[in-house]
Amino acid sequence: MIKKIEHLGIAVKDLSASIELYEKLFQTKCYKIESVESEGVKTAFFKIGESKIELLEASKPDSPIAKFLEKKGSGFHHVAFETSDIDSEIQRLINEGFELIHQTPKDGADNKRIAFLHPKAVDGLLLELCQEKSA
């Protein structure tokens, strides 16, 4: 079951410059910078009240973020929804006929297991499912 919006993802060309920009905008410091090698991305997170913002910079020229930035430039990339059981949620969505990019969860940033739905399955919007990894 989808519980809440976990974060909004924003693709950026220069993570350091964007961190500085968003720290001024939000009047708060970035709480985590992390690389996710499997996705070819470097991320930075901000917590704003109950919400989170994830900045994403390509760390590999052939990564999905690099391709997104080349095609569309900096800007809104995805919305992530928290689920309490990502495996069951993936299966439910497959059974409902949704196309997923990931049929099984993979390790993501901020201590999460993640899976993405294909944008063509959701009116052009890239959706991420995420679940906190067990301790």
For 11, the domain range is 2-132
Residue 134 — pLDDT band, cuts 50, 70, 90?
A: confident
What mean pLDDT, rounded, does the chain reach? 96
Query: What one-character-per-residue DSSP string does 71-115 give?
Result: HH-SEEEEEEEEES-HHHHHHHHHHTT--BS-SS-EE-STTEEEE
Whole-number Å distance between alpha carbons of 97 and 94: 5
Query: Which burial class, exposed, middle or buried, applies to 70 when counting CB atoms under 10 A from its CB (0-12, 13-18, 19+)?
Result: exposed
In this predicted model, what pLDDT tens digit does every residue of 10-43 receive, in sequence order?
999 999 999 999 999 999 999 999 999 989 999 9
Return the closest-CA partner of residue 108 out of 88, 89, 71, 82. 82
How many distinct structural domains can be found in the chain?
1
The pTM (predicted TM-score) of the whole model is: 0.92
CATH of residue 45's domain is: 3.10.180.10
**pLDDT given at position 135:** 58
